[in-house]
Structure 1
């Protein structure tokens, strides 16, 4: 899929229940797997053994999963469950009525030192025909191919002119999101506040947050 070479093709169907039957998941999450997903296919494996790439230092393999949906909206917790349970990095291609969305999250090994992963916020494209997805294999190592896929899917959110790492870009974007939420919440308080001195105090806090946001 997405123009990857034949050497990467895997094309194995994975039963939905593999992701929840042997672990404790909430009834709501189990229901999402059953109701929202028609089928899951492991389409491609991007690795030094399947492409002319240098081995990654942090990404040993990048797996491409095609998730065929019964409904257009998939609960994000489903993707997070798959990401948490399997010690690989993933590019998810959601398919519904012939259109695709590409989803991925920045993922790194947890500090526990086990195979567990820490999964960050998800980024995704719009619904598009497969051949219009903004995905292109770029990079000489598995690490760089993964990084570029994440940046391509995230679009403007992770674009940078500097030499910052993907982790630094993601952390900056997460801080940007936090600031935007804080500013919206504080602005609502200003509108509701009746006391002038309190309004002045809140507006001072707002100004500081906006300055930090503009500096990101």
Structure 2
């Protein structure tokens, strides 16, 4: 995963007071405390829009906003990101900064089918930490804002899933092993990739939960039954990740 060299014309550079997020996102006391503890500063750093990057808007993506968050701690709760996403009525990309390193984070955000004034927000995906002053790449080539948004989000989905299950990134390309496979092996859409990633994440949690049960159980007959559950969960994880030969540990 690389960082992006946001076009100079898109620079916005506005510091956002935390209380503005509180006002627009309906933040409760516990979440305010979380912001105080984990977030040092929020900067609305760039505005990717037709007038700043010369790409036409689409119905679902008129603009993409880039927020830079300086963290007080290495870990930032997704509740904080979700509050900011609720406060801003555009798709967001986050640059998270801490201790001389930086990473990208985002959740796929789209207008609700039932109410176009509301937004549907999925799970968050993050890159690995990268050196703050590292190399940045030009934006992906795209025909419109919607296509650009998909190309910015997709690598995050693939990278995080590949870290969770080795070989899962191959699974995106070889989706014939998955119930999420696209017809005629066409490239998977972003929404399909996200659905596959979320299924892999949920199944990984199930594998770990069963392993924990197995480690606690001492009765032989119950261990046999739990081992059968574990084998089935591992097989499902292999199927989802497209791993024909290896076994998810």
Matched, 1:157 2:161: yes
Distance 1:9 1:144 in 2: 21
Residue 65 of structure 1 deviates from its aligned partner by 0.9
Structure 1 residues 28 and 89 mapped into 2: Cα distance closer, same or farther (>3 Å)? same
Which of structure 1's runs of 4+ aligned residues deviate more than 6 A? none
Pairing partner for 2:145 from 136, 139, 142: 142
Distance 1:64 1:74 in 2: 17
Match of 2:210 in 1: 186
1:99-132 Cα offsets, whole Å, 9 max, x none, are: 3221111222335414322222212223323453
Instruction: Give the TM-score, by structure 1 length.
Output: 0.85
Structure 1 residues 157 and 132 mapped into 2: Cα distance closer, same or farther (>3 Å)? farther
State the secondary structure of the residue aligned to 1:92.
strand
Match of 1:77 in 2: 79
Instruction: Give the TM-score, by structure 2 length.
Output: 0.75
Match of 1:173 in 2: 197
Residue 205 of structure 1 deviates from its aligned partner by 2.5
Residue 134 of structure 1 deviates from its aligned partner by 6.8
Contact 1:135 1:152 in 2 (8 A): no
Contact 2:95 2:105 in 1 (8 A): yes
Which of 38-47 and 125-134 deviates more? 125-134
Distance 1:74 1:135 in 2: 25
Residue 156 of structure 1 deviates from its aligned partner by 5.5
Contact 2:25 2:83 in 1 (8 A): no
State the secondary structure of the residue aligned to 1:167.
helix
Consecutive unaligned residues in structure 2, runs of 5 or more: 163-168, 174-185, 241-249
Contact 2:15 2:41 in 1 (8 A): yes
Which of 66-75 and 55-64 deviates more? 66-75
Pairing partner for 1:61 from 54, 60, 63: 63
